[in-house]
Structure 1
Amino acid sequence: MKIHIDEAKCVGGGQCVVAAPEVFDQRDEDGVAFLLMENPGSELHASVQEAALLCPAVAIAVAER
């Protein structure tokens, strides 16, 4: 799994951080999400998929390897 966040689309909703806090965080200055890891282990795949679905800006892209 590979994850990409389109920072220009991110509205700082924080749903990704709630769904997968091991993978996502937000910048303090503007709330834009960023990745803590681009290639999470299989145990985190379900939570990453949930984060992508919950993103109000559709800013998270997930590609299966």
Structure 2
Amino acid sequence: MSPYQQDVINTTLQQYDIQAQKGLPALAAQAIGAGAYGGGREGVQRAEYQNQSDLNRALLQAQL
């Protein structure tokens, strides 16, 4: 793989990771609003969010 292609892939995935992390505070705020902060419900939401984020990242990487 050329260095140019690798740079494009690395930059794209890095930006994806930054954007994905921006969604986590919204989950915490949602849990606080529901009175479930730090509980099992929040843990499940975080796990589902991370799972979907990982799947989307893999799809993005496959398209590069």
Question: Which TM-score applies when normalising by structure 1?
Answer: 0.31
Higher Cα radius of gyration: 2
Question: Which TM-score applies when normalising by structure 2?
Answer: 0.31
